[in-house]
């Protein structure tokens, strides 16, 4: 069975549903610090900093794969650096140890474009570009990739990682990231409200629609081990700046107004690549995005409008 930590986060919400759809509700155990009855699968409260509790779940639920999604994201992480370092690292260590002790071979660890630093900014950053992270979150992702390499080499485990760019999804409101403006702008546009953007107009970043992120994750984890040539794979679906996505939304909602008010997240964004070279992912296990800016915008507006109608109907 598959264990998911952080199942109620932005990635977890979509990935848990996808794993249930693919493997069946009896094959998935969703866990998080705070749980709700959202998923049609076993859902358990778990503080991933508690190795005993994690080990207990892995043992008693015949877990054979772990997707470790619990973490503090980039912007929120900068508010409490040491706590973020401790939480992001101790939880991954616990996952690696619980996996090792219970002979769970396959582990998924979400890495991020945050592993790169300002020296990678103005280029299509290659998978092998030096990792000079500028945030605690990024440091914890570099450390995570290195620990994945260590456990794979020393204990013959099969830990795999994707370096996600900003993820855009309609299923949940993300929190604590630097790329989350690209989700919030849709919610404001649908409500006919002005959007205040915390990044400067020209700040381009690599992004990925959630359906593509889920497809890449499952494709990576399903690939034969011999196809995997590295631990952290760059992937991206598109690269855009705030005014580019605003322009795309205006094709459907012409009156969208954006006010630019850069804050501390500007500096984080400017330390990340403008775009990623994801050739190794394409070569090794067939990565191929389906959503570009146009298609993602149409899909997000359609889904959020649908949710708005359903809510209106439910509360009518």
Considering beta carbons, is residue 89 or 112 the nearer one to ligand VAH? 112
* CA dist list (Å): 280 to 6, 120, 159, 287: 28, 18, 17, 9
- From the CB of 56, what's the least distance to ligand VAH, in Å? 30
- From the CB of 115, what's the least distance to ligand VAH, in Å? 9
Considering beta carbons, is residue 166 or 237 the nearer one to ligand VAH? 166
Considering beta carbons, is residue 152 or 179 the nearer one to ligand VAH? 179
Q: 3-state DSSP call for residue 253?
A: coil
What are the residue ranges of helices labelled H in 223-273? Answer: 242-250, 265-269
Considering beta carbons, is residue 2 or 115 the nearer one to ligand VAH? 115
Considering beta carbons, is residue 98 or 142 the nearer one to ligand VAH? 142
Cβ-based neighbour number of residue 164 at 10 Å: 24
- From the CB of 100, what's the least distance to ligand VAH, in Å? 26
Beta-bridged to residue 127, according to DSSP, are: none
Task: Select the residue interacting with ligand VAH from 74, 89, 169, 234 (CB under 6 A).
Answer: 74
Task: Select the residue interacting with ligand VAH from 112, 203, 241, 297 (CB under 6 A).
Answer: 112
Catalytic residue from among 137, 151, 164, 291: 137
- From the CB of 283, what's the least distance to ligand VAH, in Å? 23
Cβ-based neighbour number of residue 35 at 10 Å: 15
Alpha carbons 175 and 170: distance in angstroms, whole number: 13
Query: Could you give phi then psi for residue 158, rounded to 5 degrees?
Result: -130, 70
**2 makes contact with ligand VAH (CB under 6 A):** no
Which residues, 6 or more positions from 309, have their beta carbon under 8 angstroms from its beta carbon? Answer: none
Considering beta carbons, is residue 166 or 280 the nearer one to ligand VAH? 166
| Candidates 25-33, 50-58, 107-115, 147-155; binding stretch for ligand VAH (CB under 6 A) | 107-115
> Does residue 155 carry a catalytic annotation?
no
Pick out residues in 125-184 that bind ligand VAH (CB under 6 A).
137, 164-167, 177-179
The secondary element (H helix, E strand) that includes residue 82 is helix 81-101
Write the DSSP string, 52-77: HHHHHHHHHTT--EEEE-----HHHH
- From the CB of 52, what's the least distance to ligand VAH, in Å? 29
Task: Select the residue interacting with ligand VAH from 4, 73, 99, 281 (CB under 6 A).
Answer: 73
Task: Select the residue interacting with ligand VAH from 104, 113, 210, 246 (CB under 6 A).
Answer: 113
Alpha carbons 147 and 153: distance in angstroms, whole number: 10
- From the CB of 55, what's the least distance to ligand VAH, in Å? 28
**DSSP state, residue 256:** -
Alpha carbons 20 and 2: distance in angstroms, whole number: 9
Alpha carbons 112 and 119: distance in angstroms, whole number: 16
Alpha carbons 281 and 263: distance in angstroms, whole number: 33
Task: Select the residue interacting with ligand VAH from 41, 107, 114, 120 (CB under 6 A).
Answer: 114
Applying CB under 6 A, what is the total number of residues that bind ligand VAH?
A: 13
Enumerate the active-site residues: 137
- Residues forming contacts to ligand VAH in the complex (CB under 6 A) are 73-74, 112-114, 137, 164-167, 177-179
């Amino acid at each position: 069975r598959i264990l998911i930590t952080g199942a109620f986060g932005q990635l977890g919400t979509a990935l848990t549903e996808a794993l249930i759809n693919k493997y069946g509700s009896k094959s998935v155990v969703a866990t998080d610090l705070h749980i709700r009855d959202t998923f049609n699968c076993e859902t358990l409260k778990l503080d991933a900093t508690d190795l005993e509790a994690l080990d207990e779940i892995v043992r008693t639920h015949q877990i054979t794969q772990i997707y470790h999604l619990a973490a503090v994201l980039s912007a929120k992480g900068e508010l409490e650096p040491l706590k973020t370092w401790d939480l992001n690292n101790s939880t991954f260590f616990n996952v690696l140890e619980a996996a090792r002790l219970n002979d769970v071979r396959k582990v998924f660890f979400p890495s991020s474009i945050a592993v790169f630093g300002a020296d990678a900014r103005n280029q299509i950053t290659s998978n092998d570009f030096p990792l000079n992270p500028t945030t605690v979150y990024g440091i914890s992702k570099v450390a995570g990739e290195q620990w994945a390499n260590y456990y794979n080499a020393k204990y013959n485990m099969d830990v795999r990682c994707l370096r996600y760019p900003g993820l855009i999804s309609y299923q949940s409101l993300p929190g604590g990231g630097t790329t989350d403006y690209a989700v919030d702008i849709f919610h404001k546009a649908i409500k006919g409200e002005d959007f205040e953007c915390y990044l400067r107009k020209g700040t381009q970043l690599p992004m990925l629609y959630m359906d593509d992120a889920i497809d890449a994750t499952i494709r990576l984890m399903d690939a034969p081990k011999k196809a995997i040539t590295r631990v952290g794979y760059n992937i991206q679906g598109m690269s855009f700046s705030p005014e580019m996505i605003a322009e795309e939304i205006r094709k459907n909602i012409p009156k969208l107004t954006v006010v630019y008010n850069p804050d501390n997240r500007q500096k984080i964004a400017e330390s990340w690549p403008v775009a990623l070279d994801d050739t190794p992912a394409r070569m090794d296990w067939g990565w191929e995005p389906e959503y570009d800016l146009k298609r993602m915008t149409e899909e997000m507006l359609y889904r959020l409008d649908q949710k708005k109608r359903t809510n209106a109907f439910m509360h009518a």
